[in-house]
Structure 1
Amino acid sequence: MSAITAWTRRHRLTVFFGLAFAVSWWAWPFYVAGSSPTPFFACGPVVAAIVVIAVADGRAGYRDLFARLTRWRVGWTWWAVAIGMPLAVLAVASVANVTLWGAPAPDLGRLAWADIGLVVAFRFVDPLDGPFGEEPGWRAYALPRLQEKWSPLRAATTLGVVAALWHLPLVTSGMLAPIGLVVTFAITLVYVWLVNHTGGSALMALVFHVAQGAISYAALGFTGADADRMDWLTGALWCLIAAGLVLADRPAWRTTPAAHAGPSSTSTAALSG
């Protein structure tokens, strides 16, 4: 066993997080200097998971990652939650924007549903987009290992801080509103709650993430100040939902079910963080 392999096995999460940031942030200074078209690559977490598994775990690690990303037998109720919750938040925020602030009402009949369907399909497989770029790393790889050592609440808040900081290049470049960092932290709690209630299914997190961005503000007719207000409205709703889940489902945040707390295809001893 090489020294690099041995060190990586002892510090899987440290290496994973370091690689995730390095891969996603490498273009940031070049963007600031005007020599890169983008400051950020969303594929950092999935690339980091693939690399760390290759060095430290091999086939067993890939089997575990694949099992979490394809765990679809979770009950129709959780499918409805994963798809319906993000759409409900968008709908409530849109109604508030129209009724309280006079934004133009969306014309759902004029939405390009075929285009939305293509966007949804592409987001499931595009590593440069948020869902597939993040979920195999954050929820399928890092979360189980964090929960081997900590309670779900501590694991979720830690991952929420990391994921929020990871988005910093988007904020400094104006591609993400600053409130997005707070929302990222809050919605991480929702992701963890969903994954833990579905037997460790990172697929549900992927579906949730795809649904969250399936319909843009622009597609609904919100532009300018109306679109900016949507960021605040949806952000406030996600913060309320996260707080509500923590307060209303306290047992879920104390102990992770043993069946999906850590890697399912290999021993905890072999794959400790």
Structure 2
Amino acid sequence: MRTRVIQDEPEHRPATPEPRPGLAAWVRDHRLTTFFVLAFGLAWWGWPLYQLDIWPRQAFQAVGALLAALIVIAVAEGRPGFRDLGRRMIRWRVPWYFYAFALGLPLLVRFAAVLVNSGPTPEWGDLAWTSFALMFLIRLVNPLDGPMAEEPAWRGFAVPRLQERRSPLVSAVILGVLVALWHLPLVGDTGWIGIAATFSITIVYVWLFNRTGGSVLLVLLFHNTQGFITMGDLNYAGADLARQELIEFVIWSVVAAVLVAVDRAAWRGNPRPPSDGVA
């Protein structure tokens, strides 16, 4: 697959400040390890307390992933690291069809699953489309919600560093496993199918991130579109809900498999597009 990606500057690892002794030096040498440990710890802290009846409610803090990335960047990279993440956050100069992919595919998957599902068809005219539009905008900037809490961290921080020593496919598989495990406290809400679907969707996220020259903005739009119309909005419950989640898992797994099989060049070697913008 050949795609045109427009960039203002070549991708590179943020410059590293001069070595400092102690904990900062260890974090600098183990950035990914530190990031993942912090991401799990900051997001999960309330889960074991809830299981032990010490904490009154199950507190899963999605913002823990974002905080983990910011902490590691502050300690290990400083301003160059923040500039690199900031550029990725506003990288919008990509071909239009990637916007269509990010905004259209999640809706296509959800509504295709609705058509396949043998349960009751939602009353489309009764859905609060104005409220959906407002929710879409809020989720784009709310650091306590999934898109803004996760995308700068998993894609903006973790993927480039995983791919320094690994192929994009291996990096995507590693990240998919870790992100799926990170969501375990939500298994009561999503079910095990939801956890498995997280792995499949991560493959799609990594493909989109790499093919847009490392744009966090595009994967943020993708994540936001994927979740702003919920199963509850479609009035699914019980067996209908379980069937809908299973169908979506199958569809996302097929999408991930197709991207791996068809766009093989995206999964080998250096994922960065050449400076002339052609990948």
Same fold (TM over 0.5): yes
Q: 1:258 deviation in Å?
A: 3.7
Confirm or deny that 1:85 pairs with 2:105. yes
Q: SS state of the match for residue 71, structure 1?
A: coil
Are 1:160 and 1:184, in contact at CA under 8 Å, matched by a contact in 2? yes
Q: SS state of the match for residue 24, structure 1?
A: helix
Q: Name the residue aligned to 1:74.
A: 94
Question: Structure 1 CA distance, aligned partners of 2:150 and 2:40?
Answer: 12
Range moving further from structure 2, 25-34 or 186-195: 25-34
Confirm or deny that 1:181 pairs with 2:195. yes
1:136 aligns with one of 152, 157, 171: 152
Q: 1:94 deviation in Å?
A: 0.4
Confirm or deny that 1:65 pairs with 2:85. yes
Q: Name the residue aligned to 2:139.
A: 123
Question: Structure 2 CA distance, aligned partners of 1:15 and 1:259?
Answer: 29
Post-superposition Cα deviations, 1:87-139, rounded to whole Å, max 9, x if no partner, equal 00001100001xxx2x2222222210111112111211222221111111100
The aligned runs of 1:13-162 (5 Å cut-off) are 13-34=32-53, 35-97=55-117, 101=118, 103-162=119-178
Question: Structure 2 CA distance, aligned partners of 1:94 and 1:84?
Answer: 15
Question: Structure 1 CA distance, aligned partners of 2:72 and 2:82?
Answer: 10
Confirm or deny that 1:6 pairs with 2:15. no
Question: Structure 2 CA distance, aligned partners of 1:138 and 1:218?
Answer: 27
Q: SS state of the match for residue 150, structure 1?
A: coil
Identity %: 50
Q: 1:259 deviation in Å?
A: 5.3
**What stretches of structure 1 move > 3 A for 4+ residues in a row?**
257-260
Q: Name the residue aligned to 1:200.
A: 214
The aligned runs of 1:208-219 (5 Å cut-off) are 208-219=222-233
Are 2:40 and 2:182, in contact at CA under 8 Å, matched by a contact in 1? yes
Q: SS state of the match for residue 132, structure 1?
A: helix
* Count of aligned residue pairs for this structure pair: 254
Question: Structure 1 CA distance, aligned partners of 2:89 and 2:273?
Answer: 16
Are 2:168 and 2:271, in contact at CA under 8 Å, matched by a contact in 1? no
Post-superposition Cα deviations, 1:176-226, rounded to whole Å, max 9, x if no partner, equal 210122111111100011111111111111100000001112222322221
Question: Structure 1 CA distance, aligned partners of 2:88 and 2:214?
Answer: 6
Normalised by the size of structure 1, how large is the TM-score?
0.90
Q: Name the residue aligned to 1:249.
A: 263
| Structure 1 portions without partners, runs of 5+ | 261-273
Are 2:24 and 2:75, in contact at CA under 8 Å, matched by a contact in 1? yes
What value does the CA root-mean-square deviation take over the aligned residues? Answer: 1.3
Normalised by the size of structure 2, how large is the TM-score?
0.88
Are 2:208 and 2:219, in contact at CA under 8 Å, matched by a contact in 1? yes
| Structure 2 portions without partners, runs of 5+ | 1-19, 275-279
Q: SS state of the match for residue 149, structure 1?
A: coil
Q: 1:65 deviation in Å?
A: 0.6
